[in-house]
Amino acid sequence: MALLQIFDPKARAVPIGIDLGTTNSLVAYVVDGGVECVTDCNLSPLLPSVVYYGAHGATLVGDDARTLAALHPRETIVSVKRFMGRGADDPETRRLGPYDFVAPREGESNTVRFRVHSREVTPVEVSAEILRELKGRAEDQLRTVGGAVITVPAYFDDAQRQATKDAARLAGIEVLRLLNEPTAAALAYGLDKGRTQGTFAVYDLGGGTFDITVLSLDDGVFQVRSTGGDSQLGGDDMDRAVATVLLREMGVDDFAHASPELVRRALDAARAAKHRLTEASETTVTVARDAGEDFSRALTRAEFDAIVGPVVERTGPACKRALRDAGVKPEALDGVILVGGSTRVPLVRSFVRELFKHEPLTDIDPDQVVAFGAALQADMLAGEGPREDALILDVIPLSLGIETMGGVAEKILTRNTTIPAGRAQLFTTYADNQTGFVIHVVQGEREMAVDNRSLATFTLKGIPPMAAGLARLEVTFRVDADGMLDVTAKELTTGVEQRVEVKPSYGLEADDVERMLMESFEHAESDLAARQLRERVIEAEQVIAATQKAVGIDGDLLDEDERAELDGALAALRDAVAKGDRNAIHHRTEGLDRAATPLAERRMNRAVKRAMSGHALKEFEDELDARPTHPHLVGDGHTH
């Protein structure tokens, strides 16, 4: 007798974990206390992250799409993750593939658009096709699918994270949480392998992104201690390096001088050779020319290592910095977890072994470990199984703050702050009768705002005119568990408030994170000097303005010699400001303060006499200048 599977419509929706990868994507779930990946009809858990758009609206995803990439390179989108959250005018965008990009029209957002036949698609739409296919696979196997935890590189910024959420929404998936890929891998090793204690480094080299994370595991608490990486570095760069050599040997100088079809064939041949050289010491690479006889040559593993070595070595500085930030020496680690298909390359494994002084952990398939961790997290968030008590404490990869007077970047949430996190800081006005604040949100480690990345700008209006220094602006930054930033600005005396979810129109450029951190170290001394100079100039200008105002009102209180001394001190301070001499500004500000002391005392006496004569306090209160200790920042902030 044949047995039929009975579908129970009341069965619980199974939460899933999705690894939305650059090269391949996976979906996993928890069953009977273990984790399994959803497989296709060939029992493969990997779905190639490739989407083909046909001339008449048909769409293919996965292996079928990948087979068409060489014939239809412009209509087949490969490695779309590298375009997520990027700008259309980003030079790196056009380097990444043989596509027909559409320039944004007036009034449109500055986002990447691919022209495929008569339609235009964005990276979000392409990613949605991949997510839709993953969801369909899961439904075929599980019948009813619940919410999903979707993993993202730790160094994805707000725009890239938001783009991932948008793609999930288009695919009809409820996002339970965005989880950083290295944290997901650590979760899989900690929970699925029964580890309860230790400090680990997670080296995650995928097709298009690299992350390095140092975290500690203590009885179910996963504390990320530092993170680093590059959102535009991965196995694709190895393929490009090999393909560049192949094209040059074929007589083509670079990708720009090759047809899109030839570029795709060279990249595919390079990737296939990389895979074969994981096991073999030598292979043959063949690339079909546009016309004429095919190009073919032998490639040894030693040659391959020499070609891709610079790509692998680019991961080194971020690893060393992450260890330094975490205060951990390589020898003190309990293990190094490898994540991502690119870590199968023997050169990568030997590089990691030498750098960290540990044999890398490969207990779990590096292609599947992130999906496993995402599934475990989804299971926890759904309240299923025995793992509800595990706690994940992730961190912010780059400092967040606002621009203050003089272009100074005031950090509100610093790099490697544990999330979710919130912090408020108080600021005040620089000029009299100021009725609004322009809040410029920046990201980075430099002391001056112009040297950091601009995230958003908004204006707080409707503040009644007040003397400089009397307004109290509280700026609150909140970063949620998904790493998304929310900024609130509130003027405390009036209650006027403005809130913005920071969603920049495109993501970090290639190597931006690495560059921003390296520059913060390289320019630390000069940045600090520039910041101190700007702060002293601002203070001096405010003192000059306050002194001139006081002289204008009550100058008659000074005799001729006192007035001459005060004018001389004013002139000296103006001269120091003009020359930009930090130390001279400091000393001459103190000199002006001493020269103005007699006037300040006599103004106070005059004010007291007026009050005693029956005048209301308000009549002379506005005439007195309250000099704030800092022109903008008036508090040390507090956390939520």
| Residues marked as catalytic | 19, 81, 181, 204
Tell me how many degrees the CA angle 425-427-428 measures, rounded to the nearest 5.
160
For residues 576 and 565, what is the distance between their CA atoms, to the nearest angstrom? 17
How many H-runs (helices) and E-runs (strands) does the chain carry? 17, 28
* Residue 420 DSSP symbol: S
Q: Determine how many CB atoms are found less than 10 A away from the CB of residue 453.
A: 19
Q: Which long-range contacts (CB under 8 A, 24 or more apart) does 634-640 make?
A: 634/426, 634/427, 634/428, 634/469, 634/472, 635/425, 635/426, 636/425, 637/412, 637/423, 637/424, 637/425, 637/426, 638/423, 638/424, 639/421, 639/422, 639/423, 639/424, 640/422, 640/423, 640/424, 640/476, 640/478
Closest CA to 456 of 496, 417, 404, 500: 500
The angle, 0 to 180 degrees and rounded to 10, between the axes of the packed helices 560-579 and 582-595 is: 160
- At position 208, the amino acid (one-letter code) is G
* Residue 633 DSSP symbol: B
- At position 358, the amino acid (one-letter code) is H
For residues 537 and 13, what is the distance between their CA atoms, to the nearest angstrom? 62
For residues 44 and 58, what is the distance between their CA atoms, to the nearest angstrom? 24
Please answer whether residues 84 and 124 qualify as being in contact, where contact means their C-beta atoms are separated by less than 8 angstroms.
Answer: yes
For residues 379 and 382, what is the distance between their CA atoms, to the nearest angstrom? 5
Closest CA to 470 of 598, 265, 622, 248: 622
265 in helix, strand or coil?
helix
Sign of the alpha-carbon dihedral angle for 160, 166, 170, 172: positive
Beta-bridged to residue 211, according to DSSP, are 204, 229
Region of 618 on the Ramachandran plot (φ > 0 left; ψ -120 to 50 alpha; else beta): alpha
Helix ranges (DSSP H) in 86-157: 91-95, 123-142
**Count of CA atoms in the C-beta half-sphere (13 A) of 299:** 27
Q: Determine how many CB atoms are found less than 10 A away from the CB of residue 548.
A: 12
Q: Which residues in 37-70 are b (16+ Cβ under 10 Å) and which e?
A: bbeeeeeebbbbbbbbbeeeeeebbbeebbebbb
Please answer whether residues 452 and 443 qualify as being in contact, where contact means their C-beta atoms are separated by less than 8 angstroms.
Answer: yes
